[in-house]
Amino acid sequence: MKDQIISTYIKQCLETGKVPSNVYAFAKVLDMEEKDFYTYFSSLEAVEMTIFQYWFQQVREQTEKSEIYAGYSAREKILAIYFAWIEALKGNRSFVKMLFDRKQDHFPMPKFPHFLKLLRHDFIEWANSITNEAIGSKEIEDRKFLSEKYKDGLWMNFFFVMNFWLKDDSPNFEKTDVAIEKSVNLAFDLMGKSPLDSLFDFGKFMFQNK
């Protein structure tokens, strides 16, 4: 029934050009009592949040079951998920744009729309596992007080990609593909070892051996 509610919600939004005004009105579309709707969702906002969470779960499941995924570096795993995520959104672009367009400012960072709350939770949990894996393999640096923020930085990057895609008017969203590659590479360059890390290590060595 939850799947039916979700599919009907998306269809209703697209066919009417607006989100349902309240649970009572939407329940009538579903031919159910309002009280029965609450068996599955606490509000219409909860439906929206679940939609994006469900899409992300599907993207992860489909991407991670690929045999080559396990052999990817952390950077490649993130790129794979990003590309798969945008591909999944393409089939629902009109609906996604409708939700984002409810705010004229398109949620400038670091703000993000409430309907992405569950997606953000799941993404950060996933990103944390990826960055921990990358730290363990020395793909990125383990920095005191900063490493725990890597996952939040990746969320900002992920949200940036979504915003970029919504404004992308290039054929087949080719510019978004470039934005994904460049932004993820930049993120890993920033999280990776830099000349400042070498300078800090050298200074620490000199201090300990003076």
How far, in Å, CA of 134 to CA of 68, rounded? 17
Q: State both tokens at 147.
A: 């490493």
Per-residue pLDDT of the chain (210 residues; tens, 9 = 90+): 899 999 999 999 999 999 999 999 999 999 999 999 999 999 999 999 999 999 999 999 999 999 899 999 999 999 999 999 999 999 999 999 999 987 654 555 557 889 999 999 999 999 999 999 999 999 988 887 778 889 999 999 999 999 999 999 999 999 999 999 999 998 888 887 654 544 445 455 445 655
How far, in Å, CA of 25 to CA of 8, rounded? 13
User: Which CATH architecture group holds 45-208?
Assistant: Orthogonal Bundle (1.10)
Q: State both tokens at 126.
A: 């996933």
pLDDT tens-place string over residues 166-193:
999 999 999 999 999 999 998 888 887 6
How far, in Å, CA of 184 to CA of 178, rounded? 10
| Dihedral angle, C-alpha 115, 117, 121, 122, nearest 10 ° | -10
Q: State both tokens at 94.
A: 């009109």
How far, in Å, CA of 66 to CA of 144, rounded? 34
